[in-house]
């Protein structure tokens, strides 16, 4: 969507209004900004990571950005087009709680098997800690990724099968 187009077509706008929580004007503004940053209409992992780095200049967001990128990239073609971008943004910024939980679950369920294993959770939490660096002071029972994931699994893994559903 949006390749070499300076404006969304009426059909694209109608589709996005139906599938997001943004109105027509907001969609047009987001599209304009998206094309400014991504003139090709496609956002690749490298560029996505570069954008993340702007928000976390004191940490290393590369690994976390890759995990987020994979959730945004709905069709798994290695790039994010405007529709993928705006739909993910809509859910994360304005979606209902259930939609946000589903999106977050997809982020942590790295292999897509509908379970979050201890290892998957640890990989995401390690990426978050690496991204935030020493910016955040954590309590002693959460000051390492392993301690944080242990605590999460103690509280959430009710059947003690080392995976969350």
User: What is the per-residue pLDDT across 20-78, written as a single tens digit (0 to 9) for each?
Assistant: 999 999 999 999 999 998 999 999 999 999 988 998 888 999 999 999 999 999 999 99
Encode 50-62 in three state secondary structure: HHHHHHCCCCCCH
Cβ atoms of residues 1 and 82 within 8 Å = yes
Q: Is 41 exposed, middle or buried (CB count within 10 Å of its CB: 0-12, 13-18, 19+)? A: middle
User: Per-residue pLDDT tens for 117-135?
Assistant: 999 999 999 999 999 887 7
Q: Which residue has the higher pLDDT, 4 or 103?
A: 103
Q: Which of 165, 147, 144 is nearest to 156 (CA)?
A: 165
pLDDT at 2 over 60: no
DSSP calls for 24-55: HHHHHHHHHHHHHH-TTSEEEHHHHHHHHHHH
**Which residue, among 110, 111, 114, has the nearest Cα to 164 in the 3D structure?**
114
Q: What is the pLDDT of residues 149-158, one digit of tens each?
A: 999 999 999 9
Task: Give the model confidence (pLDDT) of 94-108 as tens digits.
Answer: 999 999 999 999 999
Location of structure tokens 């640890």: 122
Distance between CA 51 and CA 2 in Å, rounded? 20
Is the model's pLDDT at 19 over the cut of 50? Answer: yes
Give me the half-sphere count of Cα atoms (radius 13 Å) on the Cβ side of residue 39: 0
**Residue-level pLDDT at 6:** 78
In this structure, how many other beta carbons lie within 10 angstroms of the beta carbon of residue 70? 17
């Amino acid at each position: 969507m949006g390749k070499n187009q300076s404006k969304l077509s009426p059909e694209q706008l109608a589709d996005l209004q139906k599938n997001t929580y943004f109105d027509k004007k907001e969609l047009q503004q987001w599209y304009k900004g998206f094309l400014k940053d991504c003139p090709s209409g496609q956002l690749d992992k490298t560029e996505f990571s570069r954008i993340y780095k702007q928000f976390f200049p004191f940490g290393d967001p590369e690994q976390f950005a890759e995990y987020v990128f994979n959730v945004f990239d709905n069709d798994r073609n290695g790039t994010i087009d405007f529709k993928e971008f705006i739909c993910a943004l809509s859910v994360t910024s304005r979606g209902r709680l259930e939609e946000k939980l589903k999106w977050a679950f997809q982020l942590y369920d790295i292999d897509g098997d509908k379970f979050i294993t201890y290892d998957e959770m640890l990989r995401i939490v390690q990426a978050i800690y690496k991204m935030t660096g020493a910016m955040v002071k954590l309590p002693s029972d959460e000051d390492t990724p392993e301690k944080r994931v242990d605590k999460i699994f103690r509280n959430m893994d009710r059947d003690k099968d080392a995976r969350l559903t």
